[in-house]
Structure 1
Amino acid sequence: MTEVERRHRRVQRVVAIVYVGIPVVLLAIVAWVSSRGSAAAWIGCVVPVAMLGLGLFLLPKHRYQPRWWAGVGGLFGVVTGLFATLFPLVIGVWWPAVLALPAAIVGLLAGLLLARRANLALLVPVVPELAESPYELTFQLRGTPLATVLLGADSVEIRSSPAARGDEQSRRYPLSAITGTFEASLSGAERLKFPIALSAVGTPGPAVILQASGDDWVLPTNQAAILIELLDRRRTTI
């Protein structure tokens, strides 16, 4: 078994916990509470069952897209924390409701930490063999806290934030439109031009010069060398 295959197994176990495991935990809690109340209390199972259905629906779509894992994990964690503490009110048990806010925070953190664990299992350290995997690979742009370069199986995308929408905040190029990639070293004094609306603080360090669709972009990232290698590998396979 190769290193990438081992990573894939570890990552998918954690992703399955996020998308399926969290709803199953909530379903077990709600079922246990419902069993101590009237028959009408079982209607509460609709919420975790709906979460489970949503998780099973999204899992095949998001399996190789790490950008979604934190959002889904955080959402499912918050809902689980809130519902698990508020649902006992239907059987007259009120004290868990006092813990609703702390439970929501704990659920949020748990979901985010699980997503981060999956990301770390996939990307630490980044190896060239990941180019042959179906995963989207995310690289942070230096000098701006949220901007990233997203390397997909057949495209590369520059995003101003994880929730970026529209041409002003996100620019996507098919890999077939990439005509050149070069590594450069920046002093930090350069005035950089980006393909999206983005304000970045000039910082010294490595960068990627990306030539695409007749344009040249300078993308400052501390992982310039490995990003170029992954880009070039994926370009040769399309």
Structure 2
Amino acid sequence: MSDKLVQRIVAVSYLGIPVVLLAAVAAIAATGPAWAWAGCVVPLAMLVLGWVLRRRHRYQPRWWMGVAGLYGGLTGLMITLFPLVVGVWWPAILALPGLILGLVGGLALARYANHALLVPFRPELASTPYELVFRLRGMPLAAVLIGAETITIQSHPVPRSEHQYRTYPLTAVTGTFEFTLSGAERLKFPIHVQAVPTEGPAVILQANGEDWVLPTNQSTTLIAVLEERRPQL
């Protein structure tokens, strides 16, 4: 898929969700007292923040899921709770389902953008400024980030210590091998990672004298990206 399509999906996550919330809040406020219009401050603030963050994150897919999930969850929660200001009580019963539905919807939108970027893999991605993200199977918070000159393996979306991530220059990568896990293996990592054994494709990554076993359903794409980017250094 084209870069334009990916950026449209990102724009929907960062800007479209706040616009939907603003429309919903305005429609509800129009049936209530004048002070109910103050509720529009929240979606307007989300819209302004989304505009700023979209410019910063447009080539960093690792942020897409967090922002889209947060915006989706807030939207679902506010749409169910805001009717309270006009005396309508029953939607509040759906606050928790609304929060969950919005969160899942936002995450699904971000995942679709990442999938549209990577599948099918296009060799020309190697010459773009995208920081490509590969999720690791059996490790919900862990990911592999391939930048223009570095590769990072992290166990948390926002690493707080050196025990949660490891970064190598791409020139330090000495080997990549694709294979299949049976699900019975006990995986060990140079950083602290809580892994659940799963069956499926994986990548053995050798970098700076360390070996990684990276379970990912996008193993072929991960290796292809590394092979395309390394010669550019």
- Corresponding residue to 2:207 among 196, 211, 217: 211
Contiguous gaps of at least 5 residues in structure 1: 1-5
Render the CA deviation track for 1:185-235: whole Å, top value 9, x for unaligned: 5887987653312355497865333233xx232334455554333223223
Corresponding position: 1:110 with 2:102: no
| Offset of residue 171 of structure 1 | 0.9
Residues 146 and 34 of structure 1, relative CA distance in 2, 3 Å threshold: closer
Count of paired positions: 230
Identity over the aligned pairs, expressed in percent?
A: 53
- Distance in structure 2 (CA, Å) of the matches to 1:221 and 1:85: 39
Are the aligned partners of 1:139 and 1:149 in contact in 2 as well (CA < 8 Å)?
Answer: yes
**Aligned residue runs from structure 1 range 17-32, under 5 A:** 17-32=12-27
Larger Rg: 1
**Aligned residue runs from structure 1 range 30-179, under 5 A:** 30-141=25-136, 144=139, 146-176=141-171, 178=172
- Distance in structure 2 (CA, Å) of the matches to 1:142 and 1:45: 40
Are the aligned partners of 1:154 and 1:174 in contact in 2 as well (CA < 8 Å)?
Answer: yes
Match of residue 195 from structure 1: 190
Segment drifting more, 121-130 vs 48-57: 121-130
Are the aligned partners of 2:163 and 2:191 in contact in 1 as well (CA < 8 Å)?
Answer: yes
Are the aligned partners of 2:73 and 2:103 in contact in 1 as well (CA < 8 Å)?
Answer: yes
| Offset of residue 89 of structure 1 | 1.7
Amino acid aligned to 2:42: V
**Partner secondary structure for residue 163 of structure 2:** coil
Are the aligned partners of 2:181 and 2:202 in contact in 1 as well (CA < 8 Å)?
Answer: no
Segment drifting more, 186-195 vs 79-88: 186-195
Residues 32 and 186 of structure 1, relative CA distance in 2, 3 Å threshold: closer
Are the aligned partners of 2:77 and 2:95 in contact in 1 as well (CA < 8 Å)?
Answer: yes
Render the CA deviation track for 1:5-61: whole Å, top value 9, x for unaligned: x43122111111111001011111111222222222211111111111111111111
- Corresponding residue to 2:11 among 13, 16, 24: 16
Q: What's the RMSD between the two structures over aligned residues?
A: 2.8
TM-score when normalising by structure 2: 0.83
- Distance in structure 2 (CA, Å) of the matches to 1:186 and 1:57: 42
Are the aligned partners of 2:180 and 2:202 in contact in 1 as well (CA < 8 Å)?
Answer: yes
TM-score when normalising by structure 1: 0.82
Segment drifting more, 201-210 vs 100-109: 201-210
Residues 186 and 86 of structure 1, relative CA distance in 2, 3 Å threshold: closer
| Offset of residue 154 of structure 1 | 2.4
